[in-house]
Amino acid sequence: MSADPRVSIHPDSSVLVAAIAARLITKLVDTQDRYGEATIVLTGGSMGIGTLEAVAASPARLAVNWSKVNIWWGDERFVEAGSAERNTTQADRALLDHLPLDPARVHRPGAAGEFATSDDAAADYARELADAAAQEHERDTSDTRPERPGRLPRFDVLLLGVGPDAHVASLFPEMAGIRETERTVIGVEQAPKPPPSRISLTLPAIKSAEEVWMLVAGEDKAGAVGLALAGAGPVHVPAAGARGRSRTLWLIDAAAAARVPQDLVRKEPASA
């Protein structure tokens, strides 16, 4: 089961990142009220990192108990640890280094030099996800607890950017990764944008999230957004396959919305 997409259009990218940051802070607070903790899957790129910078600048971030936030990444570049190309490095500088996080709750994918191949790093990340799912299962005392743990912990909100080619995470059109149905994490080689070696959650892992938020700005993304929301298939348009279990939000600016079907549009005020 997955939720049909809802589209919120903001006037420009600066308003958009501020609105996403405010929405994210509220989501984390509400989730902690319900579960005592919250889990977020971060993304890189200009919108992903811009959102984290906006969270860092918001006084409302103090409402979140950051020591009870679990952090994962949807994908990572398979380069040396500490490289400026890594999503984790950029996220640390934008926000994470400035928060009172519990280091045990921050799950960074492996780097080149730590693992021989991207496949090895992906297998290790999949194991870490499965371990977290097992621990979550042990803590679950509800009547609805499944008999056995799954391979993934609960993802409360998963953030994704979208490339001009409609790729999400490191799942590129017509490549093997977007066709994967069994594994939760894969190594990616010969990616069509640098660096060529990457680690990525698969589409089934992305679709396990309770909420998926697509963060998109810029005229160069309008074609990809339009195709994804018009019902294209995920093999050719990976962004079309990214759906949350209970909610799928496309949070986009006016430039990226140029080809969005009008029946899906909800325009946000400039003060959002």
pLDDT digits over 89-139, tens only? 999 999 999 999 999 999 999 999 999 999 999 999 999 999 999 998 888
**Residue spans of beta strands (DSSP E) within the chain:** 5-10, 38-42, 69-73, 75-77, 157-161, 185-188, 198-201, 211-216, 247-253, 265-267
For residue 169, what is the enclosing H or E element? none
Indicate whether 269 pLDDT > 80.
no
Q: What angle do CA 22, 23, 28 make, to 5 degrees?
A: 100
Residues ≥6 apart with Cβ < 8 Å to 147: none
Average pLDDT of the chain? 94
Q: Model confidence over 161-213: pLDDT tens digits?
A: 999 999 999 999 999 999 999 999 999 999 999 999 999 999 999 999 999 99
Q: Tell me the CATH number of domain 5-267, given options 2.40.160.20, 3.40.50.170, 2.30.30.830, 3.40.50.1360.
A: 3.40.50.1360
CA–CA distance, 249 with 266 (Å, rounded to integer): 11
Mean pLDDT, rounded, for 29-50: 97
Q: In one letter, which amino acid is 182?
A: E
Give the global pTM.
0.94
Indicate whether 12 pLDDT > 90.
yes
CA–CA distance, 225 with 128 (Å, rounded to integer): 32
Q: What percent of the chain has pLDDT over 90?
A: 88
What is the number of alpha carbons within 13 Å of residue 1 lying toward its C-beta?
4
Residues ≥6 apart with Cβ < 8 Å to 77: 83, 85, 86, 87, 195, 197, 198
Q: Alpha carbon of 194 to those of 75, 79, 189: distances in Å?
A: 14, 11, 10
3-state helix, strand, coil in the chain (%, to 5): 40, 20, 40
Residues ≥6 apart with Cβ < 8 Å to 90: 44, 49, 84
